[in-house]
């Protein structure tokens, strides 16, 4: 993140002290829900980012609720691959704010715009880390609901020193997350925090939303997030949005009805097997998708040559394989997969011999049957000679002409 000049339509927070301990520094950027500012802890000097709700949303109960959900969801998700939240409150002027980890780096979206398609190896690395955070979120009862390249952040940090890539992946922007079984208790029971979404509303970025979300407002769950992660992976490897459209109706049609995009037709350089991986990741029927982010990531590793080969099923009758070198750890993991077994050389030889013998027996039987029929026909003619031959008419003019 780099400092920017504060837009004229944004309230000036620079110099303000929030929560009694955080000093607001310069403006960083803005989104649909809020504005983000650099800040520092007054005593410790720790660098932080402070997000304020936009002025037009201050009096909107739903917007304030979503802002609170973002703080609670991120704070509840304890993972190095999710942005950390340190504090939440409301200023004296009535602006809700979130104090969170200060991230330096760029989003996956910015990387794609800057460099074009990401290499298969780097894409597998990014999705693997995002999957860790996503599985942790799902285990904690949190569904992100707006996963897209903009919200997959590649943060440069000292923790990444020595890694193959100079960043750690973090999921950000839980502003429209759904939280289930929120562990805030009353005298009776846990208080559910489903968020303010009204039934039938489309909440999120449509280009990266699953069919069930777009057609019915969808009950969000693990598989809706996995669809979004699959669509984000398509974008990473092709530098194109998988379901493009200028209006919502166009996008819904492409997501729900038109033939699914084929990554290799967009970028012929995608690894073999990625077409099948994407078809499974974004299958329209939820039960045909990968069932966890970890499973999805392992399959992508295999397709991108990071581990042992495994089948990726497009439909029940179509299987594609990615044949790559395997590590001992990957081979151990593959032992748990239910994949088709191939014949050993000995079994193949025996099968070939059996087939050859069967063919020879069949040919011999046919010859014997033919000879028997010919013999019986000859004996019948000897016993019952045919009557005198009836003269046949001469050749037709056309036939004669040809002769």
Q: What is the pLDDT of residues 313-365, one digit of tens each?
A: 444 334 343 334 434 444 343 334 333 333 334 333 333 433 343 335 444 45
Q: Mind listing the pLDDT tens digit for each residue in 261-279?
A: 999 999 999 999 999 999 9
Predicted confidence at residue 180, as pLDDT, reads 64
Q: Please, which pLDDT band fits residue 219 given cuts at 50, 70 and 90?
A: low
Domain with CATH 1.10.510.10 in the chain: 105-334
Distance CA 215, CA 278 (A): 21
d(C-alpha 370, C-alpha 362), whole Å: 12
- Residue 207 has φ and ψ, to the nearest 5°, of -60, -20
DSSP string of 244-304? --SSHHHHHHHHHTSPPP-HHHH-TTSPTTHHHHHHHHT-SSGGGS-SSHHHHHHHHHHHT
Model confidence at 148: pLDDT above 70: yes
pLDDT for residue 375:
56
Q: Look up the pTM and report it.
A: 0.68
The model's pLDDT over 178-212, given as tens digits with 9 standing for 90+, comes to 666 443 232 333 333 333 444 444 456 788 988 98
63 exposure class (CB count in 10 Å sphere: 0-12, 13-18, 19+): buried
pLDDT of res. 366: 46
For residue 2, pLDDT over 60 is answered with: no
pLDDT higher than 90, residue 121: yes
Task: Choose the CATH number for 105-334 among 1.10.510.10, 3.40.630.30, 3.20.20.70, 1.20.1250.20.
Answer: 1.10.510.10
Q: Rounded to an integer, what is the distance from CA 60 to the centroid of its chain?
A: 33
Q: Which long-range contacts (CB under 8 A, 24 or more apart) does 6-12 make?
A: 10/35, 10/54, 10/55, 11/52, 11/55, 11/95
- Residue 309 pLDDT: 44
Q: Which fold has domain 12-102?
A: Phosphorylase Kinase; domain 1 (3.30.200)
Please give the mean pLDDT across all residues of the chain.
Answer: 74
DSSP assignment letter at 317 = T
Say what the pLDDT of residue 311 is.
47
| SS3 assignment, position 129 | helix
Instruction: Band the pLDDT of 177: cuts 50, 70, 90.
Output: low
Mean pLDDT of 41-49: 92
Residue 307: the pLDDT is 62
* pLDDT computed for residue 298 by the predictor: 95
Residues of the chain with CATH 3.30.200.20: 12-102
Q: What is the pLDDT of residue 158?
A: 64
| Residue-level pLDDT at 296 | 96
Q: How far is CA 340 from CA 220, 243, 249, 337, 352, in A?
A: 34, 33, 41, 9, 20
Q: Report the alpha-carbon angle 245-249-252, nearest 5.
A: 80
List, by residue number, the catalytic residues: 146
Give the whole-number percent of the chain exceeding pLDDT 90. 36
Ligand-binding site membership of 21 (annotated): no
Per-residue confidence (pLDDT) for residue 131, from 0 to 100: 95
């Amino acid at each position: 993140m780099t400092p920017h000049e504060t837009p004229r339509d944004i309230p000036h927070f620079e110099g303000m002290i929030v929560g009694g301990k955080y000093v607001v520094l310069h403006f960083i950027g803005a989104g649909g829900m809020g504005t983000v500012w650099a800040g520092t802890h007054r005593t410790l000097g720790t660098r932080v980012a402070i997000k304020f709700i936009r002025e037009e949303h201050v009096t909107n109960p739903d917007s304030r609720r979503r802002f609170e959900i973002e703080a609670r969801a991120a704070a509840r998700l304890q993972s190095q691959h999710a942005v950390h939240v340190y504090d939440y409150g409301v200023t004296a002027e009535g602006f809700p704010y979130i104090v969170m980890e200060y991230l330096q780096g760029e989003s996956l979206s910015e990387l794609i715009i800057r460099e074009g398609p990401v290499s298969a190896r780097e894409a597998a690395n990014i999705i693997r880390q995002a999957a860790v955070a996503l599985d942790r979120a799902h285990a904690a009862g949190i569904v992100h609901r707006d996963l897209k390249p903009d919200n997959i952040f590649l943060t440069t940090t000292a923790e990444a020193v020595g890694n193959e890539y100079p960043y750690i992946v973090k999921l950000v922007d839980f502003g429209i997350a759904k939280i289930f079984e929120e562990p805030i208790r009353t005298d009776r029971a846990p208080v559910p925090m489903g968020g303010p979404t009204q039934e039938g509303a489309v909440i999120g970025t449509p280009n990266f939303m699953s069919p069930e979300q777009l057609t019915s407002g969808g009950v969000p769950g693990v598989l809706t997030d996995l669809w979004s992660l699959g669509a984000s992976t398509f974008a990473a490897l092709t530098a194109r949005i998988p379901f493009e459209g200028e209006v919502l109706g166009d996008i819904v049609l492409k997501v729900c009805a038109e033939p699914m995009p084929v990554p290799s037709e967009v970028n012929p350089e995608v690894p073999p097997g990625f077409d099948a991986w994407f078809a499974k990741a974004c299958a329209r029927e939820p039960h045909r998708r990968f069932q966890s982010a970890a499973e999805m990531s392992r399959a992508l590793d295999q397709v991108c040559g990071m581990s042992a080969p495994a089948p990726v099923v497009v439909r029940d009758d179509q299987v594609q394989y990615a044949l790559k070198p395997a590590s001992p750890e990957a081979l151990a993991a593959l032992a748990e997969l239910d994949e088709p077994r191939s014949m050993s050389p000995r079994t193949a030889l025996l099968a070939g011999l059996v087939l050859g013998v069967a063919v020879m027996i069949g040919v011999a039987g046919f010859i014997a049957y033919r000879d028997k029929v010919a013999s019986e026909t000859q004996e019948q003619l000897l016993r019952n000679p045919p009557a005198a031959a009836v003269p046949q008419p001469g050749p037709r003019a056309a036939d004669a002409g040809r002769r």
